[in-house]
Amino acid sequence: MKFFIDTADIAEIRKAKAFGVLDGVTTNPTLVSKTGRKFEDVVREIFREVDGPISLEVMSPDARGMVEEAKRLKEYGENAVIKIPLSIPGLEAIKTLTGLGIRTNATLCFSPLQALLVAKAGASYVSPFVGRLDDNAHQGMELIGQIRQIYDNYGFPTEILVASVRHPLHVLDAALIGADVATIPYAVFEKMAKHPLTDAGIKAFEADWAKVPG
C-alpha cells in the first residue's frame, strides 16, 4: 500500500518524508490557501522535495478549461497528477487527458458507480472521500470495498486512493480491503506510529538501563 500525505505544508511533507514511508503528495485549493503563500511558490517547493506522484487540482468548470489548465499544471514536473472533479465535464476531461498521456486523479468520489465511470474513462486514480461520507451517516469504508470488488471484477488499472482520512482506523481498514493508496494528514501519520504499550516499554527499558553499572 502506498502512502501519500494530504497537505501543502512543506514542513509536514519533510517530516513525513523523514519517516521513510512517503510515496507522494495530494493537495487541493483549501490546503494551499492555508499556507498563506502563492500557489506557484508552494507547488515548486513541493516538487523539489518529492519525487513521487503529486496531485494538483484544476478549478475550471468545463472540460476544455480543465484540459488546458491540466496542461499548464503538468509543466511543474513529470510526476504531476491532475485532480479532476467527478462530474460530467470531468469525465470528458479525464478521457482527453488520458489520451494525451497525462495522469489524472478523479476526486470527490462518493459512489461506486462514479468510480466505475472514471475507471472506464481511464483515470489513473480515483479518490473516494471516506471521512466526508462518515460525516453524513454513511459507511465510508463500505464504498472502498465496493470499488475494490468492481475494479477486480473487470481488471481496471485505476488505483483506489483513499482520501478524507480522519484517523488511523481508516488507514487500517483501507489496507485490509486492499486499497492501493491512502492519502493521510500528517497528524494521522504520527498517530499510526504510536502505541501506549510501545511508550511504556521504552520507559521500562530506559529505567532498567539506568540501573546497569557503568
- As to burial, measured by CB atoms within 10 angstroms (0-12 exposed, 13-18 middle, 19+ buried), residue 41 is exposed
Query: Which option is the CATH number for 2-211: 3.30.470.20, 3.40.50.300, 3.40.50.1100, 3.20.20.70?
Result: 3.20.20.70
Q: CA-to-CA distance for 189 and 158, rounded, in angstroms?
A: 25
pLDDT in tens, 175-200: 999 999 999 999 999 999 999 999 99
The phi and psi torsions of 212 (rounded to 5 degrees) equal -75, 130
Quick check: 155 and 144 in contact, CB under 8 A?
no
**Among all residues, which ones are annotated catalytic?**
83
Quick check: 9 and 34 in contact, CB under 8 A?
yes
Taking the model in full, what pTM does it have? 0.95
> What is the CB-side half-sphere exposure of residue 99 using CA atoms within 13 A?
8
Taking 3-state DSSP, the helix, strand and coil percentages for the chain, each rounded to the nearest 5, stand at: 55, 20, 30
Can you give the residue ranges of every domain in the chain?
A: 2-211
Closest CA to 62 of 77, 84, 80, 82: 84
Q: CA-to-CA distance for 93 and 89, rounded, in angstroms?
A: 6
- As to burial, measured by CB atoms within 10 angstroms (0-12 exposed, 13-18 middle, 19+ buried), residue 138 is middle
pLDDT in tens, 117-139: 999 999 999 999 999 999 999 99
Quick one: what percent of the chain has pLDDT higher than 90? Answer: 100
